[in-house]
Amino acid sequence: MPKLTRARREYDCYQCKSIIEKGSMYSKKSISFGSPSKETVENRGGVPTIVVHGFRVTKHICSKCSEKANESEI
């Protein structure tokens, strides 16, 4: 069971797009795009630059969806 937090303000559920009302329970889900842990050093005009190949964002999901997400997780 993911950790639920009481909403301090209204949020939109990332999965079902319904409104998470202020005071109701929600959980956070971190979603990654690409490979956030993958970093390579590239030479950009003579300057070594660290390039990150992805990023991570945190989305709000309602308690109903967090239960469903938990079931489908490996």
DSSP for 8-44?
SS-EE-TTT--EE-TTSEEEEEEEEEEEEEEEEEEEE
Q: Which of 5, 10, 16, 52 binds Zn ion (CB under 5 A)?
A: 16
> At its nearest, how many Å lie between Zn ion and the CB of residue 46?
49
The token pair at 68 is: 């469903």
Taking residues 41 to 70 in sequence order and writing x for each that binds Zn ion by CB under 5 A, - otherwise, the string is ---------------------x--x-----
Please tell me whether residue 20 binds Zn ion under the rule CB under 5 A: no
Give the residue among 9, 50, 46 at the shortest CA–CA distance from 26. 9
Nearer to Zn ion, 15 or 24 (CB): 15
In the complex, the residues that contact Zn ion under the rule CB under 5 A are: 13, 15-16, 62, 65
